[in-house]
Amino acid sequence: MSLGTSENNYELVSGLEIHVQLNTNTKIFSADSASFGALPNQNISTVSLALPGSLPKLNKEVVAKAVRIGLALNCTINQINHFDRKNYFYADLPKGYQITQDSQPICINGFLEVELADGSTKKIGINRIHLEEDAGKSIHDQDENYS
């Protein structure tokens, strides 16, 4: 069955979504330690748990590091940033929402220039860099062969 189009009318475009954890001492929206490997429920606070009356406060170190990455990747740095609540259920997300940047990310329209084997260069486009809190992480390590 033909729909009147040929495969020549289409171009395959693919991309990558890469997650990076910034090496900060505290979490993005609280003064809780960001160190990994502590006992369960040690690096938490009223903000982490979204208890009534607790308000997040943006970590300046996170913003500074994101801007440095954005500049290194030739991005435009947005002077105004907006955060959104992404609501969803996930076992590692006890709050029921994640604070993230969707509508107005911190960095946009960048590129990374790479040198190819033949000596030529190619620009790899960077659509956006956005900040978001990481959901929790469940690790089930009773047996070292399984997670």
Structure-token match 């790479």, residue found: 114
- Which residues are 122's β-sheet partners? 114
The pLDDT tens digits of the residues spanning 120-145 come to 999 999 999 999 998 776 676 677 77
Q: Which residue has the higher pLDDT, 74 or 50?
A: 74
Ranges of each domain in the chain: 24-129
What pLDDT is stored for residue 6 in this prediction?
65
The pLDDT tens digits of the residues spanning 6-49 come to 667 888 888 899 999 999 999 999 999 988 888 888 888 999 88
Q: Give all strands (DSSP E) within the chain, no chain letters.
A: 76-77, 84-87, 97-100, 107-115, 121-129
| Three-state SS at 125 | strand
What pLDDT is stored for residue 75 in this prediction?
98
